[in-house]
């Protein structure tokens, strides 16, 4: 790989990492608060992407604006998050309280299977995309190389903003602080009067929105096809496992690690590209069995 | 005793059905390979662990069959099966050394990651592995005989049934043996196990090898009946299907894998017939219902108490 | 003769709390040591360190003359140690018999991949262990279904089945109904006498201590403040005020 490829690879990697981070942030948040590793989170990504592309395709012919399709992405993500996440939490997730983590995971796997078929029913097997967003936002030239504004600015910015918003929520709002309390010790938090049910609902919806946002932001640059959710869920598992379950800032670092490693490998060793996230995951887990940033456990005997 | 007799009768019945209705042979063999794989996975369930990557052992076994069949054209099917199992088993001895140090979600995820590395590499290394199209396997001789397609499939069914009966019998004995009971003690109290002088890692490693070897059989048989191996054999979704089957059938007894596979295939068949395009939906719904209605029934037996 | 357990300058702190502060301690064969002290004094932590569950920051532990400071519980147990816990650690989905069988099979190092567990151990030996602790009638009960006192007995029995040189019991009578406490201790102590097993137990009940111990060590705040025959230690002024609350 020549050195002038490096900036391109980096930007590519960062944009990819941003998407990965959005999705993983949602996944790890839900795990930290509710103890569920939600396999259906991949479906949220897919639904976010598909829905975003549908709406953009609908709106794009009726307007010249560059901002409107972009805003559509965000609105769709929020709508999908609230609807899908809200319904799923209400019908299913809250009933899993107290079950073994693996059983919770398997229950969400059942939900994932159900959503896969619904997705296929609604959107079929044709690839869906939302390129309009990218093309309307134009290109930027830096140092002789052209980047799309979307990849260079919009995507990473969205990820960072989402991260900062979430951190603000968790640290400076009452609801957020209560959420953190539940993460640290659920029983004690409930004992002092925190409404775990409400927090669970809000957290799950926020997590779903983040997952859907990842998909919505991916729609302009990738093609959504059946299996997109399946691929994304294992990737976000890798990010979350590397960072440590429940570690949000850790997920940022892990996503960057994977994103950049993967995009560099596209240039250096393309056959290994798809395997890179999992190779990193194996290496990290062998050295730090609970992820890079997990805290120690208490004694049990 | 009754169970052995019953199984033997079922096996004979299967052969009869296969000889009179040849179109049922391939589905039966495939269904059995799923059951065998789930049986292997159930050994891990006994220790309270769920692996989301065991399909990699079916994959390694299947690709070994394909490679050897290509390089050694005269290799007999039985030899191919043995080779597949041995190679997969050897891989599991090494992988197992790392993996048995983990429990719970991380055990599941580490196995998942390893299987996805394999899956990804198999798909990309086109010149070695045929990429996502996979590798074809020409019909080999079976026990020295050269069969035409119909005969080959029938006798392969026989082999599969024999392997199924043997593995079910052996695994059930393993469950009741000292090693097997020590393995299931990992689920309930690993600390106590260590304080009795057991190495929980070693006990787990032994179980891991057993489970991988059994899954390997399923991969070799699947390769031989399909005449094809693809990376899909090692995909995490495949591993998840094995998990699904054991949830349905339970890991309390070796027969659970077969009952679960029968249930799994039935649900798939019925939903494809009546609700085509929704079979995954129905499967997912069934999984959720099964986990909820039997929290300490056969599902709770698999893992630490359903409700803690 | 070498002490069975010896620690030199053993030190362990959790954050700012010293759980074991430069402990020099010896336990000799044939002793029945009772360890007393308020909650949080470090009694269980000391057991955890001596049995390999925790690693001390400084100091050494010797079992039967060998340095076991860095060893895991599994290795130390194989050298002749048995332990029962504050909360009984049982195989909750196995029967009482199976729990003893597993311990016995492990001691005999006969673990088959094929023959049933019950066939690889001497049924007589298993029965004898059960009889020693009075659990013969419960042999086929799932261990999780036993009442608290019997669960404690099973915990001790599993350790005994290892034929250890030293049996460590962490609060053997806690959670047991008062009227059953003496019965339990008598049964266990009798079994230990028969098999010539050295005993170290943590206990809060002073009567039990007075009746069954040959030596008492009192812990306060991560240190041993009194160590000697029961009638001396139990009448010690500091022990009386800080441990016994009298």
Taking only the tens place, the pLDDT of each residue in C208-230 is 999 999 999 999 888 898 999 99
CB neighbourhood size of B91 (10 A) = 19
Q: Inform me whether the C-beta atom of residue C98 falls under 8 Å from chain B C-beta atoms.
A: yes
Q: Please report residues of C whose CB lies closer than 8 A to that of A299.
A: 48
Do B181 and C90 make contact, defined as CB atoms within 8 angstroms? Answer: no
How many structural domains is chain A composed of? 1
Burial label, C70 (beta-carbon count in 10 A; 0-12, 13-18, 19+): exposed
Residues 6+ apart with CB under 8 A from A104: A35, A36, A37, A96
**Residue in C closest to B171 by C-alpha:** C114
**Residue in A closest to C45 by C-alpha:** A301
Whether the predicted pLDDT of B275 surpasses 60: yes
- Look-up: residue for tokens 């670092």? A253
Distances (CA, A) of B44 to A17, A63, B108, B206, B301: 34, 58, 10, 10, 13
- Helix H, strand E, coil C: the string for A269-281 is CHHHHHHHHHHHH
Instruction: Name which of B174, B177, B198 is nearest C106 (Cβ-Cβ).
Output: B198
ipTM for this model: 0.92
Candidates B263, B283, B261, B260; CA nearest to B272 is B283
Mean pLDDT of B211-238: 95
- For residues A32 and C244, the model is more confident at A32
Q: Inform me whether the C-beta atom of residue A301 falls under 8 Å from chain C C-beta atoms.
A: yes
**Residue in B closest to C104 by C-alpha:** B196
Mean pLDDT of B295-305: 42
Averaged pLDDT score across all residues of chain B: 89
Taking only the tens place, the pLDDT of each residue in B48-57 is: 999 999 999 9
**Residue in C closest to B181 by C-alpha:** C117
Q: Which chains touch B (3 or more CB pairs under 8 A)?
A: A, C
Quote the percentage of chain A above a pLDDT of 70.
Answer: 97
* Rounded-to-integer distance, Cα B185 and Cα C93, Å: 8
Count residue pairs from A and B with Cβ separation < 8 A: 128
Q: According to the model, what pLDDT value does residue B145 have? A: 86
Distance from CA of B277 to the nearest CA of A (A): 7
Candidates B97, B91, B106, B108; CA nearest to B219 is B91
Q: Please report residues of A whose CB lies closer than 8 A to that of B101.
A: 289
Mean pLDDT of C135-143: 92
User: What DSSP assignment string belongs to chain B?
Assistant: -HHHHHHHHHHHHHHHHHHH-GGGHHHHHHHHHHHHHHHHHHHHHHTT---S-THHHHHHHHHHHHHHHHHSTT--HHHHHHHHHHHHHHHHHHHHHHHTT--HHHHHHHHHHHHHHHHHHHHH-HHHH-GGG-EE-----BTTB---HHHHHHHHHHHHHHHHHHHHHHHHHHHHBHHHHHHHHHHH-HHHHHTTT--HHHHHHHHHHHHHHHHHHHHHHHHHHHTEE-GGGG-HHHHHHHHHHHHHH-SSSTHHHHHHHHHHHHHHHHHHHHSTT-HHHHHHHHHHHHHHH-TTTHHHHHSS-SB-
Instruction: Name which of A109, A278, A282 is nearest B240 (Cβ-Cβ).
Output: A109
Q: According to the model, what pLDDT value does residue B308 have? A: 36
Q: Please report residues of B whose CB lies closer than 8 A to that of C114.
A: 170, 173-174, 177
pLDDT band at B306 (very low <50, low <70, confident <90, very high): very low
Whether the predicted pLDDT of A297 surpasses 80: no
Mean pLDDT of B148-166: 92
- A296 lies in some domain: no
What tokens does B268 get?
């798939």
Q: According to the model, what pLDDT value does residue B261 have? A: 92
User: What DSSP assignment string belongs to C175-212?
Assistant: TS-HHHHHHHHHHHHHHHHHHT-EEEEE---HHHHHHH
Whether the predicted pLDDT of B299 surpasses 80: no
* Rounded-to-integer distance, Cα B219 and Cα B193, Å: 33
Candidates B18, B27, B14, B26; CA nearest to B272 is B27
* Rounded-to-integer distance, Cα C173 and Cα A100, Å: 32
pLDDT band at B295 (very low <50, low <70, confident <90, very high): low
Candidates B87, B80, B79, B55; CA nearest to B66 is B80
Mean pLDDT of A244-255: 92
pLDDT band at A301 (very low <50, low <70, confident <90, very high): low
Distances (CA, A) of A137 to A160, A215, B178, C12, C61: 19, 19, 68, 62, 70
Q: Is the dihedral of CA B297, B302, B305, B306 positive or negative?
A: negative
Candidates B189, B221, B175, B229; CA nearest to B28 is B221
pLDDT band at A300 (very low <50, low <70, confident <90, very high): low
Q: Please report residues of B whose CB lies closer than 8 A to that of A100.
A: 303-306, 308
Instruction: Name which of A121, A230, A289 is nearest B237 (Cβ-Cβ).
Output: A230
Q: According to the model, what pLDDT value does residue B304 have? A: 40
* Rounded-to-integer distance, Cα C20 and Cα B44, Å: 40
User: Are B258 and B70 a contacting pair, CB within 8 Å?
Assistant: no
Q: What domains sit in chain C, N to C, each tagged with a CATH number?
A: 1-76+200-246 (3.40.50.300)
- A300 lies in some domain: no
Whichever domain contains A269, its CATH number is 1.10.3470
Mean pLDDT of B285-298: 75
Whether the predicted pLDDT of A2 surpasses 80: no
Distance from CA of A107 to the nearest CA of B (A): 5
Burial label, B174 (beta-carbon count in 10 A; 0-12, 13-18, 19+): buried
pLDDT band at B305 (very low <50, low <70, confident <90, very high): very low
User: Are A161 and A46 a contacting pair, CB within 8 Å?
Assistant: no
Taking only the tens place, the pLDDT of each residue in B80-102 is: 999 999 999 999 999 999 999 99
Mean pLDDT of C2-8: 88
* Rounded-to-integer distance, Cα B43 and Cα C99, Å: 20
- A84 lies in some domain: yes
- A297 lies in some domain: no
Across B11-25, B52-66, B200-214, least confident range: B11-25
pLDDT band at B106 (very low <50, low <70, confident <90, very high): confident
Residues 6+ apart with CB under 8 A from B54: B37, B40, B41, B44, B111, B115, B211, B212, B215, B239, B242
pLDDT band at A146 (very low <50, low <70, confident <90, very high): confident
Distance from CA of B37 to the nearest CA of C (A): 20
User: Are C183 and C176 a contacting pair, CB within 8 Å?
Assistant: no
Q: If DSSP codes are grouped into helix, strand and coil, which group holds residue C12? A: strand
Taking only the tens place, the pLDDT of each residue in A261-289 is: 998 888 888 888 889 999 999 999 888 88
Quote the percentage of chain C above a pLDDT of 70.
Answer: 100
The residue among B47, B188, B280 with the most chain A CBs within 10 A of its CB, best to mutate, is B280
Q: According to the model, what pLDDT value does residue C77 have? A: 95
- A295 lies in some domain: no
Q: According to the model, what pLDDT value does residue B57 have? A: 97
What tokens does A134 get?
């990218």
- Look-up: residue for tokens 């997990």? A294
Q: Which domain holds residue A67?
A: 3-287
pTM of this structure = 0.90
Q: Which chains touch C (3 or more CB pairs under 8 A)?
A: A, B
pLDDT band at C34 (very low <50, low <70, confident <90, very high): very high
Distance from CA of B58 to the nearest CA of C (A): 23
**End-to-end alpha carbon distance in chain C:** 38
- Look-up: residue for tokens 């990697």? A13
Taking only the tens place, the pLDDT of each residue in A250-262 is: 999 999 999 999 9
Instruction: Specify the pairing of strand B228-229 against strand A139-142.
Output: unpaired
Q: Please report residues of B whose CB lies closer than 8 A to that of A238.
A: 113
Mean pLDDT of A168-187: 89
Q: According to the model, what pLDDT value does residue C214 have? A: 93
Across A44-58, A63-77, A226-240, least confident range: A63-77
Burial label, A276 (beta-carbon count in 10 A; 0-12, 13-18, 19+): buried
Do A234 and B236 make contact, defined as CB atoms within 8 angstroms? Answer: yes
- A299 lies in some domain: no
Whether the predicted pLDDT of B303 surpasses 50: no
């Amino acid at each position: 790989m020549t050195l002038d490829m490096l900036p391109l690879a980096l930007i590519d990697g960062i944009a990819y990492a941003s998407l990965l981070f959005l999705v993983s942030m949602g996944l790890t948040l839900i795990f930290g608060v509710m103890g569920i590793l939600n396999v259906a989170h991949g479906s949220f990504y897919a639904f976010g992407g598909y829905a975003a592309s549908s709406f953009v395709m609908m709106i794009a012919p009726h307007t010249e604006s560059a901002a409107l399709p972009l805003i559509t992405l965000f609105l769709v993500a929020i709508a999908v998050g609230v609807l899908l996440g809200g319904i799923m939490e209400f019908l299913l997730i809250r009933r899993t309280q107290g079950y073994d983590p693996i059983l919770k995971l398997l229950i969400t796997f059942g939900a994932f299977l159900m959503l896969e078929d619904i997705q296929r029913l609604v959107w079929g097997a044709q690839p869906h995309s939302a390129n309009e967003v990218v093309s309307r936002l134009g290109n930027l030239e830096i140092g002789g190389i052209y980047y799309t504004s979307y990849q260079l600015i919009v995507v990473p910015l969205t990820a960072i903003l989402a991260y900062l918003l979430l951190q603000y929520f968790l640290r400076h709002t009452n609801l957020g602080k209560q959420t953190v309390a539940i993460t640290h010790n659920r029983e004690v938090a409930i004992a002092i009067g925190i409404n775990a049910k409400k927090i669970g609902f809000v957290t799950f919806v926020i997590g779903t929105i983040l997952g859907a946002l990842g998909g919505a932001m991916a729609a302009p640059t990738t093609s959504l096809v059946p299996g997109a959710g399946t691929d994304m869920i294992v990737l976000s598992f890798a990010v979350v496992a590397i960072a440590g379950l429940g570690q949000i800032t850790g997920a940022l670092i892990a996503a960057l690690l994977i994103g950049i490693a993967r995009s560099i490998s596209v240039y250096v060793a393309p056959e290994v590209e798809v395997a890179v996230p999992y190779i990193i995951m194996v290496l990290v887990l062998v050295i730090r069995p609970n992820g890079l940033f997990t805290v120690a456990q208490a004694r049990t005997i | 005793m009754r169970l052995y007799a019953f199984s033997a009768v079922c096996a004979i019945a299967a052969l009869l059905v296969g000889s009179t209705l040849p179109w049922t042979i391939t589905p039966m063999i495939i269904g059995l390979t799923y059951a065998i794989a789930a049986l292997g996975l159930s050994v891990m369930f006994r220790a309270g662990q769920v692996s989301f990557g065991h399909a990699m052992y079916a994959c390694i076994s299947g690709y070994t069959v394909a490679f050897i069949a290509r390089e050694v054209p005269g290799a007999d099917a039985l030899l191919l099966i043995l080779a597949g199992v041995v190679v997969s088993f050897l891989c599991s001895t090494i992988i197992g050394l790392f993996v048995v140090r983990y429990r719970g979600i991380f055990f599941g995820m580490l196995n998942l990651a390893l299987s996805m590395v394999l899956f990804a590499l198999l798909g990309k290394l086109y010149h070695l592995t045929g990429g996502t199209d996979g590798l074809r396997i020409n019909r080999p001789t079976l026990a020295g005989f050269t069969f035409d397609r119909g005969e080959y499939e029938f006798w392969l069914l026989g082999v599969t049934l024999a392997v199924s009966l043997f593995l079910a019998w052996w695994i059930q004995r393993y469950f009741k043996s000292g090693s097997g009971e020590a393995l299931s003690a990992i689920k309930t109290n690993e600390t106590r196990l260590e304080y009795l002088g057991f190495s929980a890692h070693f006990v787990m490693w032994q179980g891991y090898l057993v489970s991988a070897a059994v899954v390997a059989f399923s991969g070799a048989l699947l390769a031989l009946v399909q005449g094809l191996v693809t990376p899909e054999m090692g995909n995490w979704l495949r591993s998840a299907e094995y998990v699904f089957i054991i949830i349905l059938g339970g890991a309390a007894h070796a027969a659970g894998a077969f009952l679960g596979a029968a249930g799994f295939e039935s649900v798939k068949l019925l939903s494809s017939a009546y609700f085509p395009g929704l079979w995954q939906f129905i499967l997912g719904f069934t999984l959720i219902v099964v986990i909820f209605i039997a929290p300490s029934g056969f599902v709770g037996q698999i893992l630490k108490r359903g409700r803690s | 003769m070498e002490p069975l357990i010896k620690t030199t300058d053993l030190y362990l702190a959790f954050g700012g709390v010293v759980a074991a502060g430069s402990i020099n301690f010896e336990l000799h064969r044939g002793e029945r040591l009772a360890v007393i002290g308020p909650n949080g004094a470090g009694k269980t932590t000391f057991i955890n360190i001596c049995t390999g569950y925790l690693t001390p920051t400084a100091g050494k532990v010797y079992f039967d003359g060998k340095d076991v400071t860095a060893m895991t519980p599994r290795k130390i147990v194989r050298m002749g140690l048995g332990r029962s816990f504050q909360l009984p650690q049982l195989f909750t989905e196995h029967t009482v018999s199976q729990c003893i069988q597993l311990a016995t099979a492990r001691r005999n190092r006969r673990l088959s991949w094929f023959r049933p567990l019950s066939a690889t151990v001497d049924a007589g030996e298993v029965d004898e262990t059960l009889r020693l602790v009075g659990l013969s009638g419960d042999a086929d009960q799932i261990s999780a279904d036993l009442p608290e006192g019997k669960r404690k007995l099973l915990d001790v029995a599993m350790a005994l089945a290892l034929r250890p040189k030293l049996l460590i019991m962490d609060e053997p009578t806690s959670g047991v109904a008062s009227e059953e406490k003496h019965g339990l201790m008598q049964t266990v102590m009798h079994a230990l006498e028969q098999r010539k097993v050295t005993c170290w137990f943590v206990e809060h009940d002073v009567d039990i201590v007075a009746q069954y111990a040959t030596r008492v060590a009192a812990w306060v705040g991560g240190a041993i403040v009194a160590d000697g025959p029961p009638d001396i230690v139990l009448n010690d002024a500091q022990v009386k005020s800080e441990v016994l609350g009298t």
